[in-house]
Structure 1
Amino acid sequence: MHRSASRLTRLLACAAVPVILTVAGCSSDSGKDSGSGGDKKPGASSSAKPSGKASATLEKAAFATLSDPCKSIQTATVDTLVPEAKDKNGTATKSNDLTTRASCSWNGLDEDGLKGSQYRWLSISLVRYDSHASLGSANKRAEEQFNKQVETAKAAEGAHDVKVEQAGGIGDQASSVVYGVKKDVDFFNTTIVARTQNVVITLDYNGAAYEGAGAPDQAKLLENAIAAAKETVASIGTANQQQKQPEQQASPSAQ
């Protein structure tokens, strides 16, 4: 009897081993599942992991200011585009924030006696955009405005024979819109819309002939407008570089 009892004890002990291993294995699996979303309490990992994607950081605007539009082109350029300008310094339009929106215009009547007179008018408008969480990046906003300005120029009141072309070599993108307008005389208009980073430039240039003078050369008007637009783009880069220099001088030198 003693021998049978001992044998029975050993059999029960061996039979219990798989049960213990099984329980241990379930505990181990349970531990793994708790870290990967298995058998876990509701909301247990909500504080450990963000539920939504982090919002993308918007790029910083390339240009923080505008150039003075009345000084964005050289005096010699003004003389070429608007001979006998009433004010070579231009007439600035009032603005509440000249770092965001500014414009300037020139006009003049070049009289040539019996050969008649040539009238010229030039306007340069600048608009700068910043990145905005709900509106998008500065460059994207400027690109949208660029497209709107091209469409506006194409739909000018009284415009006829409208011709739109890409204008290469002016900022990041540019288009020329050439058309005629019939008033008391024929006006020949050229609009250059250009974008350099987060700034949109709209340059309007038109001419008309009076008292028997020959009509303005449209090709020459376009050529002059493109040259002025290129100067304006360059002036924006220069203005922002000049703004950075005082800031760099004021900051402590790196040791």
Structure 2
Amino acid sequence: MHRSAPRLARILACATVPVVLVAGCSSGSDDDKKNADSPSRSSSPSPTPTVAKAKFSKLPDVCTSLSGKTVGELVPKAESKKGKALPSADTNTSASCLWSGLDGFKYRSLTVSLKLFHSDPGMGTGDKRAQAYAGQQATRAATADGAKDAKTEQAGAIGDAATTVSTKSKKDGDDFRNQTVVARTANVVVVIEYDGAGYETAKAPDAGDLMKDAKAAAKEVVESVAKGDQGDKGTSSDSSDANGSGKSDDTSGDKSGDSGSSDEAKKKSGA
């Protein structure tokens, strides 16, 4: 009997091992069940970035942004009083119109260009984008190929901000006086290019007179923009522009509709 007691103790000890293991596994399963039943913490969604809505949502008809009277005064004997609309991928955001004519030996060329910027969360407000583009256009006018004696000044009472650029150039032996007014009204940039020359025996026009007319034209176009539809139809977080891409009218400039489009037209018109 005494010899069998240790043996019996060993048997009982071994018999308790599975119970302990089972209890341990059962305890782990209960913990997993509790964790599964407890609601998981959901991460808070990042707030959607917003920017102020742009004031203007579309452009006016660029070729009617100036009255017939103004066109007649600035471009006597214009080939077309209605103007020539220059190519543009989307006239809702970028448009230009050209008038040119020869009155005797006096040549005049007038180009009006409009550029609209929508607000974009990733690119900034329409106003800031327009401001950057306006600066680029002023620099472009002052550094254009063949431009000499560039004079750049700030002009008041034209939109929210305006810059004038006066240069001289020579084409086919004739002296040209080139006047540019770059004005911004909210999220729209207005560029007026007014050039004049005297062919044969005619003298080159007075640069001061041309600039005075260019400023008057800029004011009139700014008023035309103000009369158009107001209010960005998209939401403040909408990153798409009217041409279907939020980055298509970036500040690098739109070759199809900005003031640079007038260069080709001037060549065709004989400038």
TM-score normalised over the length of structure 1: 0.71
Q: Distance between the aligned counterparts of 2:116 and 2:41, measured in 1? A: 42
Q: How does 1:96-245 map to 2 (within 5 A)?
A: 96-111=89-104, 117-183=105-171, 184-240=173-229
Question: Match of 2:121, as an amino acid?
Answer: A
Separation (CA, whole Å) in 2 of partners of 1:179 and 1:65: 32
More helix by share: 1
Aligned equivalents of 1:51, 1:75: Cα separation in 2: 56
CA distance in 2 between partners of 1:179 and 1:211 (Å): 21
Distance 2:74 2:116 in 1: 25
Higher RCO (C-alpha under 8 Å, 6+ residues apart): 2
Q: What is the alpha-carbon root mean square deviation over aligned residues? A: 2.2
Secondary structure at 2:198's aligned position in 1?
strand
Aligned length: 193
Q: Distance in 1 between matches of 2:155 and 2:181?
A: 8
Deviation at 1:240, TM superposition (A): 1.7
Deviation at 1:133? 1.8
- The superposition leaves residues 148-199 of structure 1 with CA deviations (integer Å, 9 ceiling, x where unpaired) of 1111111111111110001111111100000100222100000101110001
Aligned equivalent of 1:60: 53
Give, in whole Å, the separation in 2 of the partners of 1:140 and 1:179.
27
Query: How high is the sequence identity, in percent, across the aligned residues?
Result: 45
Q: CA deviation at 1:107?
A: 0.3
The CA distance in 1 between the partners of 2:115 and 2:194, in whole Å, is 18
2:81 alignment counterpart: 88
The corresponding residue for 2:34 is none
Q: Shift in Å at residue 96 of structure 1?
A: 3.0
Relative to structure 1, is the Cα distance of residues 181 and 47 closer, same or farther in structure 2, using a 3 angstrom cutoff? farther
1:47, CA displacement in angstroms? 5.0
Q: 1:119 to 1:131 in 2, by over 3 A?
A: same
In structure 2, the residue matched to 1:38 is none
Deviations 1:92-141 (A, max 9, x none): 01323211111100000001xxxxx1000000111101011211111111
